[in-house]
Structure 1
Amino acid sequence: MSRNSLIGSIPASVGELRTTLVLDLSHNRLNGSIPSQIGGAVSLLELRLEKNFLTGIIPTQIEKCSSLTSLILSQNNLTGPIPAAIANLTDLQIMDLSFNQLSGSLPKELTNLSFILSFNISHNHLQGELPVGGFFNTIPPSSVSGNPSLCGSVVNHSCPAVHPKPIVLNPNSSSDSGGRSLSSNLRHKKIILSISALIAIGAAVFIAIGVVTVTVLNLHVRSSTSLSAAPLTLSTGDDFSHSPTTESNYGKLFMFSGDAEFVAGAHALLNKDCELGRGGFGAVYRTVLRDGRSVAIKKLTLSSLIKSQEDFEKEVTKLGKIRHHNLVALEGYYWTPSLQLLINEYICSGSLYKHLHEGESKNCVSWQQRFNIILGTAKGLAHLHQLNIIHYNIKSTNVLIDRSGEAKVGDFGLAELLPLLDRYTLSSKIQSALGYMAPEFACRTVKITEKCDVYGFGVLTLEVVTGKRPVEYMEDDVVVLCDMVRGALEEGRVEECVDGKLRGNFPAEEAIPVIKLGLICASQVPSNRPDMAEVVKILELIRCPSEGQEELE
C-alpha cells in the first residue's frame, strides 16, 4: 500500500496481521503514532513506514516482531529515545530511523545486532557517546550525521572527559592537635601505599610469569598438533566402503577421478595466498593437482553439524555423481572429524558478481551474454530440482562464469551435507544473500521447498538485466531492486530496468519478457512462482520465436 495518498492513523488492528510478512505503508500521509499493537504482527520480516507524518515514540512492543530483518521508519516526526528493546530483534539487517526528532542516548545493547548491514540514525537530536563494538566499529559517518550532540570516533568528536573531584583540605584545621592528627594520618597512608605498591609489583611479576608459561605451552601444543595432523591417507577409485585408517589424527583424501596428489603437497591445501573468497559456510582456496588441473577447495566451517563420516561420505558421493554443463562439478573431498574439505572444479573467470559489479565499463557484459547466463543458471537449477536438491543460497557470487561465458552454479548441496542445519542457522549463514532470500525463510510455519530457489533466481535475473545489486544503500534511503523494477515497468520506464552500460544495445522484445519473468519468479507467494523447468522453457521461447519459425519454413 505504499506510494498512495492514504491519510489518518495506523489502526490498532494491525496487530491482528499475525501471518503478514511485509507491511509497507511508506510514502503516504499517515499521522498519529505507531500503535503498540504492532507487536502482534509476529511474522513480519519488513516494516516500512517511511515518508509519512507519524508522531510519538517507537513502541517497545516492536521487539515481539522477532523475525524483522528490515525496520525503516525514516522521514517522520517520531520523538523520544530509541528503545533498547530493538536490540532483541536479532535478525535485523536494515535499520533506518533517520530524519526524525528522536532524542536521548543510543542504547549500548544495539551492539548485539550482529547481522546489521545498513544502519542510519542521521538527522535526529540524539546525544551522548556512540556505543563501541559490533557494527558501530564499521558504520560510515553519514549514518550518524546531523546529531550535533553525539560524540565518538565515528563523528570525529571526542567525548568530554570525566575527571574525579579533587580532594580539598580544610584550611581551618591548622591547630596543633589537628596538625599532629594530619601528620599521623599521612604516615599511616604512606605505609598502606607502600604495602599496596609491593603487592601490585608482586602480582605483576606473577602474571608475567604466568603469561610466559602459557605461551610456551601453547606453542608446544601447536607444534605437536601440526606434526600429528600432517599425514594424509590418499585414495582413488570408486570404493567408499572402507576407510584407510581409524586413527583420528589421519585424514582421508578422495578424488572421484584423476590423481589425488597436489603439486605443493597436502600442506598447500589451505594456502592463504591462494584464497579465492569466503562465504557463510567457509573459505575457498585454489590449488593445483599433479596432472596440472586447478581445483577450488572449500573448507567447511560447520563441522559440528555433520553427524558422522559415514553420513558425510554418503551425501558427498551423491553430489560427486552430479554432472551438468551448468553446475560446478564436485571432484573430491577430504575428511577428518574436525576438518572437512570439498574439492570442486575451478572456474577461471570468477563469479557473476565480479563481472556485473566490479568489471570495467569497457568490458561490459553484452545482452547476449546476459541472456546466456540467465538461461544457463536456470538450466543448472532445474537439473538440481529434478534430483530433489534445493540450493538454498542462490546469489551472483555463487554463479561462476567459465572461459566461454557459460554460467555454472556452485555451492549447491550444502544442506544435504549438513543434516543438522536448521532454518535459523541456515538463514543466519546466508544473511549475506540479503535480497535473494525468499520471505518464507523467516516464517517457521511455511515449508521450505525448491520455490525458495525460484525466488532467488528471479532476483538474480533482475540483477543481471539491470546491473544493480538486489539492495542498494543510498545516503538517506534503501532501494530494493524488485520494488524499483516493478515501479519503473508499471510506469513504462523500461530504460531504467536495463543496465545503462548497454547503451540501448538490447532487443526490447527479449528484455521486457525476461524482466517480467524475473518479477514473477520473485513473487512473495511461493505458489505463484513457476517451476525452474517451466522457466527454462519460457526463456527458450523468449529467445527463439523467430528461429523456430524459420525452421518450420
Structure 2
Amino acid sequence: MQMRYYHQTRANRLKMKFRKLLLYLLLSSFLQGCISDDASIELNDDILGLIVFKSELKDPSSNLQSWKEDDNSPCSWKFIQCNPINGRVSHVSLDGLGLSGKIGTRGLRKLQHLKVLSLSHNDFTGNINPELGLIASLERLNFSHNSLSGQIPPSLLNLNMMNMKFLDLSNNLLSGPVPYQLFENCASLRYLSLAGNILQGPIGKIFNYCSSLNTLNLSNNHFSGDLDFASGYGIWSLKRLRTLDLSHNLFSGSIPQGVAALHYLKELLLQGNKFSGPLPADIGFCPHLTTLDLSNNLFTGQLPVSLRLLNSMIFISVSNNTLTGDIPHWIGNISTLEFLDFSNNHLTGSLPSSLFNCKKLSVIRLRGNSLNGNIPEGLFDLGLEEIDLSENGFMGSIPPGSSSSSSSTLFQTLCILDLSSNNLVGDIPAEMGLFANLRYLNLSSNHLRSRIPPELGYFHSLIHLDLRNNALYGSIPQEVCESRSLGILQLDGNSLTGPIPQVIRNCTSLYLLSLSHNHLSGSIPKSISNLNKLKILKLEFNELSGEIPQELGKLASLLAVNVSYNRLIGRLPVGGVFPTLDQSSLQGNLGICSPLLKGPCKMNVPKPLVLDPDAYNSNQMDGHIHSHSFSSNHHHMFFSVSAIVAIIAAILIAGGVLVISLLNVSTRRRLTFVETTLESMCSSSSRSVNLAAGKVILFDSRSSSLDCSIDPETLLEKAAEVGEGVFGTVYKVSFGTQGRMLAVKKLVTSDIIQYPEDFEREVRVLGKARHPNLISLEGYYWTPQLKLLVSDYAPNGSLQAKLHERLPSTPPLSWTNRFKVILGTAKGLAHLHHSFRPPIIHYNLKPSNILLDDNYNPRISDFGLARLLTRLDKHVMSNRFQSALGYVAPELTCQSLRVNEKCDIYGFGVLILELVTGRRPVEYGEDNVVILSEHVRVLLEEGNVLDCVDPSMGDYPEDEVLPVLKLALVCTCHIPSSRPSMAEVVQILQVIKTPLPQRMEVF
C-alpha cells in the first residue's frame, strides 16, 4: 500500500509539474510582445522548450536525465550544443538513443536559434508535424531511420525556412507522392534524401528550384515514370549535383543524351529500375564521375565509347542488362578503376590484355556472358581480391600464377575465384596453393583432368571448395582438411577413387560434404561423426561398402543424407536424421535394413541368411532352386504376362512421381542451408541494439489510436487461437478502445532472427508491402523470448475452408468467384515480385494462406516470412513440405538453383488447378498416388481436359476455363525459364476475362 501511494503521489507531482510548464509556455507566448527581449528570459525559453520536448518522448534508457528544469543553462546538457556568442541552443542531436513516441513541436518552437535537429536511428512514429516549418533558423533536419508514416507535409519547407541546407527523411514509412509545393523554396538546399520509404508517382519537375543541390537520394521507393531529358528541367537542371541516386525504383524509358549537363557529377546510381534502350552516349563527358551503377535494368546495345574519357572512374557496374559487343580495349585507359562488373549480359569476344593496365583493379565480375578464348596469363598477378569469370566459354588451361618472390604479396589478396561453367581443360595448377587468403574457390563444370593437388589443402582461410563435374581422378588428398576453416567441400561428378580419407575428421568446420557420383570405395569412415557442424552428407552413386557407422546417428545438426546406389548393408543408425530418411536416399544398395526398401536386408554377422533367389537378379543362386521356381510359375507367366507388365509399369511410374515429391523435402533444406551458409561467409556486420525491446511497434498512422503499452503475454491469454502454421500460431485479438480486430502471429523462436535490428529491418520491408490483395503487416513486437507480427484480420476464412472444408449446407464456389480468387491472387503476387528490389518471395503459397472477404476478393497472408529465419532447419523444412505438399517446384531438387519468383509461379499454377478441379494437389489411393498437375496434363494431351473440372460449381464458360487450365500447366512447367512472370500472368488472365469477340488469341 505504501509503495502504491508513493507511486501515485509521484505521478501526481509529475502531472502538476508538466501543467506548470505548459502554463508557463502559454503565458510566455502571450506576453512575448509585452516585455523586452531579455537574455535570461530567452535562456529560460530554451530550457522550457527542451523540457516540454522531453516530456513528450519516451526515453527507456534515461539518456536525457541530465535535462533538468532547475538548471540555469541547457548548454551543459548531454546532446546539446549552444552558440558560444549568444549562449542559445543551436544543436539538438539525439541520434540512436532508442527514443520513441511522436515528434512534438510545442517545445521545439521555443528554440528560436536552433540550427540542427537530428533524431535519426530512433523509434519515432506518427506523421511529420507540418509546424516544424515554423522553426525559421533550422539548417539541418535529420529524421532518418525511424518509423514515421503518412505523407510529407507540403509546408515542411515553407517561406520561413530560407536557410535549410540538409534534409534527411530516409528509411521511414512515408508514403504517397512528393508534394510539388514542398520544394518551391529550396534554393539553399544542398543535401536531400528520401530513400527507403514507400513514396510513389513521377518526380517530374519537382526539384526545379533546388539549384544548389549536391546530393539527391530517392532510392528504394516506388517512384515511376520517365526522366525527361529534353525539357532541361527537373533533375537534369541541377547543375551542381555531385551524387544522384535513383536506384531501386520503377523508373522506365530511355536515357538519351543529356547526362553531360551534370558536369560536376561524381556518383550516378540508377540500378534496379526499368530503364531501357542504349546507354547515354555522352556519359563519358562527366569528367568527375567516379561511381557508375546501371545494373539490373533493360539497357541494350554496346558500351558507349565516351566511357574511355572517365579518368577518375573507380566503380562501374552494368550487370544484369542485355548489352552486346566485345569488352572494348580502351577499358585499360581507365587506370583508376577498382571495381568492374559486366556480369549477366550478352558480351562476346575475348578478355582484352589491356585490362592489365588497370593496376588498381580489385574486383572483376564477368559471369554469365558469351566470352571465349583463353584466360590471359598474368591475370592472377594483378593483385585482385575477386575474379568471377563463370558461365562463359573460356577455353584452354588455368594459367599458373607467377611464383617469383616479387609477386608473393599479390597472392595474399585474392579471396574469391570462380571459373565454373566454362570449357577449361588440363590440370589444376599446384601454384594455386599459394593463394593463402582464398576463401571461395569454384572450378566446377569444366573439363579439368588431373589429380586434386594436395597444395589446395594449404589454404588457411578457404571456406568453400567446389570442384564438381570435371574429370578429376585419383584419391582425395590427405591434405584436404589442412584448412580447419573449410565449410563446404563439393567433389561430385568426377572419377575419384579410393577410400574417403580418415583425416576428414579434421574438417571440423564442414557444413556440407558432397562426394557423390564418383568411384569411391571402402567403408564410410566413423571419423565423420566428429564433424559436429555437418548438415548435408551426399555420398550417392559410389562403390562404398559395409555398414553405415552407428556413430553418425549422434550428429544432431545433420539435416540431409543420401547414400543411395552404393554397396552398403546393415542397419541404419538409430538416432539423428536417419530414421526419417526417404527411399530415394537409400535405394540401390545391397542390403540396407529399412522398411522403405523392398530388397533383402544383409547384416555383417557370421550366421548365413537365406535370400529371395530372384532378388537383384542374382546369378549365383543354386540352379536347382532357380529351375524349380521357374517351372512352378511357368503357367502363370504365360497366362498373365501382359497384366504383369502393365502393373509393373504403373508401379514404377507412381513410385517415380512419389520419389520426386519426397525428394523435395530433403533437397529444399539442403538448398536453403547452402544459400544461407554462403551469405554468412561473405558478409559480416557489427550489431548494436537500438530497438526498444518489449514494445508493440505499429507502422500505420491508422493504428495510432491503439494501445501499444499492453502486455502481449496477457493479451495472448485472452486471445482466440485461429490457426497454426510452419512459422507459428495465429491468434485473433481485439486492440484498442474501439475493439479493432487484428491477427497476431506468435512466431517460433528457435530459428527466428535473434538480433533486433536485423529483425526490424526485415519486418519493415514486409510492412511496406501494401496492396488490396495482400494482408498488410501492421506492426510487430520483439523480445529475445517472444516475437509477434501484427496484421489485419480477415473474418471470412481462407480459401482452404471454402474449397475443401465447407459444410454441406454451404454452397460451393462459383466459377465467377473462383476466377476472382485467381486474378486477385495473381495481382498480389505480382506486386510482391515486381514492386520490390530484391523481390519478396512468398515461399509458402497454399490455399490456407489465401484469405477471402465477403465478396470473395483474395488477400494473401504469410508472405516473405522466410526472410525472418536464420536458417531453415529440419523441423521447419519438414513442416513446410508436409503442409504444402504438391506446391513445391521440382527444380528445388537441384542444389545449384535458388528459391526465386519462379518457385512462387509454380505454386500459383498448382493453386489454379486446385480451384478449377476442386481436388487437392496430391491425392493418395489404396495403390497409387495422383499428382494433380500431371493428371491434368495427361487429360489435356488426350483432349479430355474439361473432364477434370469440379462438377460442384455448376455451369461454367468453357472459353474461360480451358485457357485458365492451359495457363496453369504453363505455370507448372518443369523448366523454370518457361514459366511466365506474374506480371505476364495478370495480363493473360485479364485477356481471358474480356468478352470473347474482343479477346486476343492467348494460347
TM-score class, shorter-chain normalisation, is: 0.5 to 0.7
1:153 corresponding residue in structure 2 = none
| CA offset digits 1:404-435 (Å, max 9, x no partner) | 210111101213333x3359776445212110
Matched, 1:452 2:903: yes
Q: Does the 8 Å contact 1:469/1:481 carry over to 2?
A: yes
SS in 1 for 2:781: strand
Code of the aligned partner of 2:797: G
Deviation at 1:306, TM superposition (A): 0.6
1:496 corresponding residue in structure 2 = 947
Unaligned runs of 5+ in 1: 1-17, 20-38, 44-58, 72-80, 97-103, 111-119, 127-240
CA distance in 1, matches of 2:921, 2:581: 14
Query: CA 1:367–1:67 in structure 2 vs 1: closer, same or farther (change >3 Å)?
Result: farther
Q: Does the 8 Å contact 2:749/2:785 carry over to 1?
A: no
Mapping for residues 75-224 of structure 1, pairs under 5 Å: 84=572, 107=594
Q: Does the 8 Å contact 2:823/2:989 carry over to 1?
A: yes
CA distance in 1, matches of 2:884, 2:861: 14
Matched, 1:443 2:894: yes
1:335 corresponding residue in structure 2 = 782
Deviation at 1:443, TM superposition (A): 2.1
1:523 corresponding residue in structure 2 = 973
Select the residue among 846, 857, 873 that pairs with 1:395. 846
Query: CA 1:440–1:67 in structure 2 vs 1: closer, same or farther (change >3 Å)?
Result: farther
Select the residue among 267, 281, 284 that pairs with 2:730. 284
CA distance in 2, matches of 1:395, 1:269: 29
Deviation at 1:510, TM superposition (A): 0.7
Identity between Structure 1 and Structure 2 (%):
43
Code of the aligned partner of 2:813: V
Matched, 1:376 2:824: yes
Q: Does the 8 Å contact 1:440/1:448 carry over to 2?
A: no
Q: Does the 8 Å contact 1:277/1:285 carry over to 2?
A: yes
Mapping for residues 40-79 of structure 1, pairs under 5 Å: 40=517
Q: Does the 8 Å contact 1:394/1:436 carry over to 2?
A: yes
2:813 corresponding residue in structure 1 = 365
SS in 2 for 1:363: coil
CA distance in 2, matches of 1:93, 1:491: 37
CA distance in 1, matches of 2:925, 2:841: 33
1:23 corresponding residue in structure 2 = none
Deviation at 1:475, TM superposition (A): 2.0
1:217 corresponding residue in structure 2 = none
1:175 corresponding residue in structure 2 = none
Code of the aligned partner of 1:277: G
CA distance in 1, matches of 2:599, 2:891: 34
Structural RMSD (CA) = 4.6
CA distance in 2, matches of 1:462, 1:326: 20
SS in 2 for 1:310: helix
CA distance in 2, matches of 1:68, 1:491: 40
CA distance in 1, matches of 2:983, 2:788: 31
Code of the aligned partner of 2:788: L
CA distance in 2, matches of 1:367, 1:391: 26
Matched, 1:314 2:761: yes
1:355 corresponding residue in structure 2 = 802
CA distance in 2, matches of 1:82, 1:508: 57
Code of the aligned partner of 1:402: D
2:302 corresponding residue in structure 1 = none
CA distance in 2, matches of 1:272, 1:485: 46
1:254 corresponding residue in structure 2 = 698
Matched, 1:476 2:476: no
CA distance in 2, matches of 1:357, 1:82: 44
CA distance in 1, matches of 2:923, 2:561: 19
Query: CA 1:520–1:374 in structure 2 vs 1: closer, same or farther (change >3 Å)?
Result: same
Deviation at 1:296, TM superposition (A): 0.8
Q: Does the 8 Å contact 1:60/1:83 carry over to 2?
A: yes
Code of the aligned partner of 2:871: L
| CA offset digits 1:136-165 (Å, max 9, x no partner) | xxxxxxxxxxxxxxxxxxxxxxxxxxxxxx
Deviation at 1:496, TM superposition (A): 2.9
Q: Does the 8 Å contact 1:357/1:467 carry over to 2?
A: yes
CA distance in 1, matches of 2:965, 2:791: 32
Q: Does the 8 Å contact 1:489/1:497 carry over to 2?
A: no
Determine which structure has the larger helix proportion and give its number.
1
SS in 2 for 1:269: helix
Query: CA 1:105–1:524 in structure 2 vs 1: closer, same or farther (change >3 Å)?
Result: closer
Query: Across the two proteins, how many residue pairs are aligned to each other?
Result: 359
Q: Which has the higher contact order (CA 8 A, sep 6+)?
A: 1
1:430 corresponding residue in structure 2 = 880
CA distance in 1, matches of 2:726, 2:948: 30
1:26 corresponding residue in structure 2 = none
Code of the aligned partner of 1:342: L
Deviation at 1:444, TM superposition (A): 1.7
SS in 1 for 2:716: coil
2:992 corresponding residue in structure 1 = 542
Deviation at 1:521, TM superposition (A): 0.4
Deviation at 1:267, TM superposition (A): 3.8
SS in 2 for 1:380: helix
Deviation at 1:487, TM superposition (A): 1.3
